[in-house]
Amino acid sequence: MGACQGYAVQEKEHKIRRLVTKMTMQPQIQEMIDKFHRKMEKDPNVKKEIEPLVKTINIDLGTEAYSMKLKNAQIYDFVPVLLQEADITLTTTPENLQGLIDGTLRPMRAFVLKKIQVKGKIDDIMFLKKFF
């Protein structure tokens, strides 16, 4: 490969990396919310169990941030900002969150290796974990 071809390949790889870093996790998080809603519709016992909960949740990915609210077994107000005070805050990177979603990163391993940090009452976190 000549110098010009090598430069063209490097330039193309740089453009691809820039596109990848501009991608957001918003669609993947929205899909998780949709999955949660389908589960609530499908299983009335689970819905009854979670219905009394009222929680605010922050997801801080460093380069992007999201918040949402849980009430009446529904997640709503999913927006790209952090709430001032949230009941639960998940802090990680977009890459680690993607690994958690697609199963290539196990939650306990991520927690032990400090790839994710979770702030909030442990009871809330463990209770909500089983619904996703």
| Residue 81's pLDDT band (cuts 50, 70, 90) | very high
Give the domain ranges of the chain: 25-129
CB 93 within 8 A of CB 110: no
Query: What is the pairing mode between strands 54-60 and 65-71?
Result: antiparallel
Nearest CA-CA partner of 118 in 86, 94, 73, 70: 86
Q: Report the predicted TM-score, pTM, of the whole model to 2 decimal places.
A: 0.78
d(CA 41, CA 15): 42
Mean pLDDT of 52-58: 94
- φ, ψ for residue 52, nearest 5 deg: -70, -15
Task: Dig out the tokens for 59 from the structure.
Answer: 């997801």
Q: What is the pLDDT of residues 86-130, one digit of tens each?
A: 999 999 999 999 999 999 998 889 989 999 998 998 777 777 666
- Rounded CA separation 36/17 (Å): 32
Label the pairing between strands 88-91 and 54-60.
Answer: parallel
CATH top-level class of 25-129: alpha beta
